[in-house]
Structure 1
Amino acid sequence: MQDFLQTISSLNDETRIKILKYLQTNGECCVCELQEAFCMIQSRLSRHLKILKDGGFLKVRKDGKWSYYSLRSPLDEFRTATLKEISYLECEILPHSIKKVLFVCTHNSCRSIMAEALINAQFSGIIKAYSAGSNPSNEINPNAKKLLIQKGIFTNKLYPKPLNSLCESFDLAITLCDDAKKSCPVVKNAAKTLHLAFDDPSDKEFSEFEKTLNLMQEKLVKVVKDELNVV
């Protein structure tokens, strides 16, 4: 009885029905592919996948750091019949375009760089973050770079650049310092511009950089998710 109830409860969500139908159509998929297909952050997607796995519908294969999900085979008669019914459903999975967000500060060497790295690390395949400065420095602040390396989110694509060097159109632009807000009250190639200031840790101890990144995790991530309607 408990197994039956767990199986039934795993199907009481439209997203999980769509995941099963997607796997029926496409076969084994990496979590990153499902994340992009459903425009969903990994933590939420993982909860859905776990419920379906516990419900007896999915199996998972590990390959290095990646997890690959597919339908279990063979399935018992009840689950086989359930999947057959799901195959008849019209569950449209709309293609999505990756949202683009731009972070702007004066020197593009610290706060905006950290914001770019943080958002790209957490929303890969869903949101693409960029950064630029109204008066960019020649290099990244050493403590900012050190912190991002420690967190495992530094890439060689993180470097200071002038605002006018970016030709992309953005769904959202966020200024992170008051000077940038004054010089760039509206970013011309952004659909919307917001201001969310963070204290500049540039001339402070390393611990202040950690505090700033933690504040960004707490405040900036939520603002980006809400403004770009990412679930």
Structure 2
Amino acid sequence: MFAPSPLPASEPPRDCPRCPRLVAFREALRIEYPDWWNAPVNAFGDPDAWLAIVGLAPGKHGANRTGRPFTGDHAGVLLFDTLAKFGLASGTYEARPDDTLRLEGAIIINAVKCLPPENKPTPEEIRTCRPFLEGQIAALPQPRIFVALGQIAHQSAVKVLGGKLPKAKFGHLAEHRMPGGQVLIDSYHCSRYNQNTGRLTPAMFEAVFARAIEVRAELA
């Protein structure tokens, strides 16, 4: 069972042909792992979210396998535990798309929809996929606050929101006011590598979402 999208009209087709390298990788994985999702990964969360979390791309054994962002790999444990702590998730995360986890007031959308080899999309692939990020942000009723997980997500979010990268430099807990009034808050990505090396601790990650809630109150 795979999770349906909360924004179905904005999703790419299952056999999206836009990025030849990613298509070839996807086709190879469909042969090797026929029971996996192996397709562009849908958004996940509340279609009326006030907080949009911009991720990088699906992980091979996580979202590319399960069909739901951050589901089935190490990064999802910290992300969903943190969202639950701040009242942005309910139910139980069991690392599968048919568990009872639900996001409340938050939605996850990726800068790149398909799995890139070695988790490294090329600049051209990021640009090619950006219209889907634009469409998903446009489909949200009133997203005022964005959290970017990592530098690639930050760069894509700034461009979609009309900002200028030289004026909006990435940094953990860096905060950027966008021309349309939105606020973008940066975080180091919650990858296993960043957690294992201590670059990102649970306290550092929680501070990002605590700040998002403070900003929401300031904008009210």
| TM-score normalised by structure 2 residue count | 0.37
Higher RCO (C-alpha 8 Å, min separation 6): 2
| TM-score normalised by structure 1 residue count | 0.35
**If you compute each CA radius of gyration, which structure gives the higher value, 1 or 2?**
1
